Every structure is written in structure tokens, then in C-alpha cells.
Amino acid sequence: MYLSSPGPVALAHRGGWLIDEQGVCRTELENTAVAFQHAVDLGYTHLETDVHATADGALMAFHDTTLDRATDRVGIIEKMPRREVARARVAGQEPVPLMEDLLGSWPHVRFNIDLKSDSSVLPMVEVLRRTNAWDRVCLGSFDQARLDRARVLVGPGVATSCGPVDVARLRVASLTTLLRPVAPRTPVCAQIPLLRGGFPVLSRDVIGTAHRLGMQVHVWTINDPKVMERLLDAGVDGIVTDNTVALKELLRRRGQWNDNTIANTLRNG
């Protein structure tokens, strides 16, 4: 199960910041195998990433629609064949990974996957079919229709987070005494920011309502340890962060980091 691990869920956002051998924080190697490996080496069992499909249907772990910002090449990913995207290097160093390769590299790690384009939905289903990773991913999207389509295609065995309409329904439910599911198939978690457009999204009522509906609440993207601690004190179930070292240290200090998490995951499958 995607959320079977005990305690607060620590999610490495795009793999998180990488601390190199000289102790220098590398913030530009997002969504690369080296960043994900760094998080796994720290003991993270949940990695957050994004996916786009190439013109020939290869599913790439990459945040932006184009290669322009993060790599040494330019172009719209869904209009390029895989062989061209494969030539790009993130920060001029690391290749853009295939989602299938990431799932295969760490077969017992959970992945939180943001479907960034409509064209990514079917390739995502095919990747899950080939890797048999149905029970260790959570799919999400900022597009409700895209997420609902993915839910139909993957079936109830795959965890999903709240889409924007689901979040709006959750907030409305938190203001009333009437509790009802926020979607035809209730998501396993609401993954939300503190604010959206300057307005608060998270509240203790939202947390309580989500819990009564059987959902966890994960907050993104939190890099300040003081804010992390306040959120944990307020009852959130997970934190998405770039600052993977700080979140680990905080959870350790609170007695909520399990150094044997990876070993337990391997044993339990």
C-alpha cells in the first residue's frame, strides 16, 4: 500500500536538494536519478516527481512543459521524440530519466507522480502495467479532468491524491456538518499548499475533515524547519520538501523518523 509506512510521510520533492561530497547544496538537479538516489540514501521511502510524455509516448520524469529552463537544450517535450529528449542534460550534467527506469531502480520505494499533461495519462498506465507498480504510486494532477480520467483507467488499486475540485469540495465540507466523499472514489490524501493565490488552503478544520473522510493531509512545498514543525504539531500527515536533510533531522528529533524504514519496506513489500 502506498501509505502503509508508519508515522508522518516525508516526500522528497523532485528528489530534493542534493548535498555533494563537499557539503554544497545543489538545487538545480531536480528530477534526476542522482537526486532521487540521494533521497533514498537518506532513508526516504516516498519520492515526488512529475511526468510528461514525448511525441512517441515515452514517459519522462520532468516538471516543465519545455526543456528550456532546467536543461542545456530547448523544445516542447510532447513534440519531441524520446531520442532528442534523451540528449538533454539537466543543469548540463544529468539525463532526463524515464519514469519506468525510476520505478525499476528502487522497486520498493513509493512514488508520488504529478501528471503534467493529458498526453502523459495513457503512457503512465502502460508504465504501471509493465512495472506492476500499481500499489506503490500515488497519482495526482492540477487538472481535475485529467486526474479523473486516470482514475478510471488505473482502477481502484492505484492511490490518487485530491485534484483541484476535490480540494474545493474538501474545504466546503470542512465548513459544514455534512460529510460526504469528495470524489466518486475517495483519494487517499489531500496534497495541498499553505496558500493559493494569497488565500489560505490549509486549516485545522480541513485537516480534521480530511481525517474523518479517511484521507491524509500532505503539505507542499515546505523547506523551513520551523514551518515543518508547526504543521506536524497541527496534525498534518506528510510534508513535501526540497530540504530533505532538514526534514529528516526534524523527524528524528521528534522521534518520528524510522531509520529502519527502508528495511521494513523491503521485508513487507
Options 13, 46, 52, 218, the catalytic residue: 13
* Catalytic option among 38, 46, 52, 63: 63
Burial (0-12, 13-18, 19+ Cβ within 10 Å), 236 = buried
Neighbours of 200 (CB within 10 A): 11
Query: Which set of grid coordinates corresponds to residue 228?
Result: 515543518
* Partners of 76 in the β-ladder: 66
Strands 137-140 and 110-115, bridge-based pairing: parallel
* Residue 218 designated active-site: no
Please answer whether residues 5 and 135 qualify as being in contact, where contact means their C-beta atoms are separated by less than 8 angstroms.
no
**Residue 77 burial (C-beta neighbours within 10 Å; 0-12, 13-18, 19+):** buried
E strand or H helix that includes residue 19: strand 18-19
| Helix H or strand E encompassing 33 | helix 33-42
Residue 63 is a catalytic residue: yes
Residues annotated catalytic, as ranges: 13, 63
